Amino acid sequence: MDNKSLDVIIDKLPQNMRDPLERCKSSVSDKVTEISVRADRPICLYFGSKPLFITDKGCLTDTPLADGVLILNAKDIENTLLRLCDYSVYAYQNEINSGFITIGNGIRVGLCGRAVIDDGQIINIRDVSSLNFRVARDIKGCSSELLSKLDPLYGVLICGEPSSGKTTLIRDMARTLSYRYRVSVIDERAELSAYSRGASGFDMGLCDLFVGYPKIKAATSAIRSMAPDIIICDEMGDKADIDILTTSLRCGVAFIASVHASTIDDLRSRSATAEMIASSAFRYIVFMSGRDNVGRIEKIYEMRGSYA
**235-266 pLDDT, tens digit each:** 888 888 888 898 888 899 999 999 999 898 99
Class of the 3-134 domain? alpha beta
Name the residue among 147, 127, 152, 151 with its Cα closest to residue 74.
Answer: 127
Alpha-carbon gap, residue 204 to 210, rounded angstroms: 12
220-234 pLDDT, tens digit per residue, is 999 999 999 999 998
Alpha-carbon gap, residue 26 to 246, rounded angstroms: 47
Q: pLDDT category, 307, cuts 50, 70, 90? A: very low
Would you say residue 305 has pLDDT above 50? Answer: no
Alpha-carbon gap, residue 95 to 107, rounded angstroms: 13
- Those residues with Cβ within 8 angstroms of residue 79's Cβ, 6 or more apart along the chain or in another chain: 14
pLDDT of residue 32: 87
| Residue-by-residue DSSP string for 168-193 | HHHHHHHHHHTTTS-EEEEETTSTTT
Q: Which residues is 41 bridged to in the sheet?
A: 72
Q: pLDDT category, 145, cuts 50, 70, 90? A: very high
DSSP structure class, residue 72: E
Q: What is the mean pLDDT of residues 176-203?
A: 88
Q: Are 147 and 176 in contact (CB under 8 A)?
A: yes
In the chain, % of residues over pLDDT 70: 97
pLDDT of residue 187: 92
| Residue-by-residue DSSP string for 19-67 | HHHHHHHHHHTTT--EEEEETTEE-EEEETTEEEEEBTTS-EES-TTST
30-67 pLDDT, tens digit per residue, is 788 899 999 999 999 998 788 999 999 999 999 999 99
Report domain extents, the chain.
3-134, 144-302
Alpha-carbon gap, residue 51 to 151, rounded angstroms: 38
Q: Name the strands in the sheet holding 121-134, side by side, starting at the edge strand that comes first in the sequence.
A: 60-61, 50-54, 44-47, 34-38, 121-134, 107-118, 100-103
Q: pLDDT category, 3, cuts 50, 70, 90? A: low
Beta-strand relationship, 297-302 and 284-288 = antiparallel
Phi first, then psi: give them for residue 156, nearest 5 degrees.
-135, 130
Residues in the chain: 308
pLDDT of residue 178: 98
Residue type, 127: D
Q: What is the mean pLDDT of residues 135-162?
A: 92
What's the chain's average pLDDT?
89
pLDDT of residue 33: 87
- Judged by average pLDDT, the poorest of 13-22, 141-150, 291-300 is 291-300
Give the CATH architecture of domain 144-302. Answer: 3-Layer(aba) Sandwich (3.40)
